[in-house]
Amino acid sequence: MLRVAIAEDDFRIAQVQERFLLEVDGVEVVGKALNAKETLEMLKEKKVDLLLLDIYMPDEMGTDLLPKIRAQFPQVDVIVVTAATEKNIVEICLRNGVVNYLIKPVMMETFINAIKQYQEKKELFSTHKEVDQSFIDAYFGHVRTKPKADKSLPSGIDGITLQKSKDILKSIKGITIEEMGQQMGVSRTTARRYLEYLVSTGECHVEYDYGIIGRPERKYYLA
């Protein structure tokens, strides 16, 4: 799950952002803060992957808060969501490593696309142990497809990740979606996509494990 926190002094806007986030698979809202002080306290207490940060906070500008976040919580990525359009503010944010900058009011589609793009980049890193120029091009948006993409594969299926899922199926006899996600280091949604693709090509088949009680468990086997 992608753990997202919201730093926004207007609780109504924070609620709207939370509703938007609920529309994205694999996202969990772990906290909300109304000012800079609460934001730092939240980052200390919660495990956060991505922070949605407003610039105009009541006790401290987000531009002043950013260097503190970078110094104290280097593992936290930041997307700025603000009404600030001044060029110098954008420059400060970029120099402090924000991964995106959204100007209010933000349409739902734009907001969700930004979150999904971040998910894709994070997933790209998690599924590749080494990088080359094609990887860098894909990550920074120089090309629109993932590195080493096989043109015969449908959109959303990467050849390297597909081979990794096959290798896991070879080593584990009967695997659930959750187990595949853990083995691949990807979200449950991504694991399901690759497993179902292998089912559609006949390289994998599904069996149901009914167990003792509860719903039957769907397990995947290499054909």
CATH numbers and ranges of domains, the chain: 2-126 (3.40.50.2300), 159-222 (1.10.10.10)
pLDDT for 2-29, tens place per residue? Answer: 999 999 999 999 999 999 999 999 999 9
Cβ distance 192 to 177 under 8 Å? yes
pLDDT of 145: 47
pLDDT of 146: 47
Q: What is each CA distance from 55 to 38, 68, 89, in whole angstroms?
A: 14, 14, 9
Cβ distance 54 to 34 under 8 Å? no
pLDDT for 55-114, tens place per residue? Answer: 999 999 999 999 999 999 999 999 999 999 999 999 999 999 999 999 999 999 999 999
Rg (CA), the chain: 20
Written as six digits, the tokens of 222 are 């290499």
202 Cβ contact partners less than 8 Å away, ≥ 6 residues apart: 223
pLDDT for 119-165, tens place per residue? Answer: 988 888 877 777 777 777 777 766 544 445 456 788 888 888 898 89
Rounded CA-CA distance 11/202 in Å is 50
